[in-house]
Amino acid sequence: MTTHDTTGKVLTVLGPVDPHDLGVTITHEHLLIDLSIVFVEPDDEEGRRLAEEPVGIGNLGWIRTNWSSNRDNLVQTDIDVATREAARFKAAGGGTIVDATSIGIDRNPKALAEISRAAGIHVVMGAGYYVGPAHPDDFSSRPVDSITAEIVRDIVTGVGDTGIRSGIIGEVGCSWPWTDNEKKSVAAAVAAQCETGAPLLIHPGRDQKAPIEIVKFIEREGGDLNRTVMSHVDIRIYEREILRELAATGIYIEYDTFGLESPFPPHAPDTYMPSDYQRIEQLIGLIEDGYLERVVLAHDNCTKHRLRVFGGHGFDHIPSTITGWMKRQGMSQAQIDTLLIENPRRMLTFA
């Protein structure tokens, strides 16, 4: 059951808006985040020294290939920095950022509202829980209904006493193999989707089989795959046959690590990161197979080294750079608008 003011609307941190007001939308970002749970201690003396240094020009090269082994890199809680980065996105033609920071990695509703106002962009805030290691201590003892009710409250009345409401459920985190608590988290998220009409965004575990397994689980729980996004597909699925199987379910396929081209990070040493060129080629393949209307794009900016102020590509990388590369590879403006405007608008609109 949807609430009366969200049906047919997109719910931002400043309230419901008309979907046609969103403009260019990146569907999976983190304006503010504490991702310390993925930190990996280097095993050499030089690495341990670099792990404790603040991000700067002197260590940026090392951090780019060891980005989960620098403590400072994993924490971006500076509102002024986030506002400047968001303003660059707006200056590049951007309209909306989906902040997928869920519970466990330092979601900050009041700060997101402040950033939205100051940068002049729409911000859609996430709900639900991140991966198991980020769950609160009492999560194992909580029933599904309790978690569902919390997610519903975040959407209907707002987080805590802030009055600031979530407009998407996610990113809901899963590991590989995923745990009983993570299955409970997804079940609660699906129940909340059914009750509120909100979109749902899933963070799958690091295995090609994980997304399909989660899709089947969501189907059994009664979720709406047509309003569900599978994140990180560009760094989870490498075989075309498996990718097409996932796309055929009707779920939204999210290519969301544009700008990140450093393979085998310390916390995920078996994860292959494609180049942006390879991502575009895979997108063209999906379009040729008839899935243009089921793909959304983002950067998943979740560390300092990827921000402009620290020498990275920022939130404007897709509208400023990637769209030009897409055209060079033969994609039309109409196709780009479908990926960046029409698909996110449809996905984020409450049923």
Q: What is the pLDDT of residue 3?
A: 54
Report the CATH fold assignment for 11-348.
TIM Barrel (3.20.20)
pLDDT digits (tens, 9 = 90+) for 316-330: 999 999 999 999 999
For a pLDDT cut of 70, what percent of the chain falls above it? 99
pLDDT digits (tens, 9 = 90+) for 82-132: 999 999 999 999 999 999 999 999 999 999 999 999 999 999 999 999 999
Q: What is the pLDDT of residue 121?
A: 98
Q: What is the pLDDT of residue 2?
A: 47
- The band of 148, judged by pLDDT with boundaries at 50, 70 and 90, is very high
- The band of 4, judged by pLDDT with boundaries at 50, 70 and 90, is low
Where are the chain's structural domains? Answer: 11-348
CB burial of 94-124 (b: ≥16 within 10 Å; e: otherwise) equals bbbbbbbbbbbbbbbbebbbbbbeebebbbb
Q: Summarize the confidence of residues 3-18 as an average pLDDT.
A: 92
| Bridge-based pairing state of the strands 228-230 and 200-203 | parallel
| Bridge-based pairing state of the strands 10-12 and 15-17 | antiparallel
Q: Based on the number of CB atoms within 10 Å of its own CB, is 157 exposed (0-12), middle (13-18) or buried (19 or more)?
A: middle
Residue type, 136: P
Q: N- to C-terminal Cα distance for the chain? A: 9
- H helix or E strand, kind and range, residue 75: strand 75-76
pLDDT digits (tens, 9 = 90+) for 46-65: 999 999 999 999 999 999 99
Neighbours of 248 (CB within 10 A): 12
pLDDT digits (tens, 9 = 90+) for 200-251: 999 999 999 999 999 999 999 999 999 999 999 999 999 999 999 999 999 9
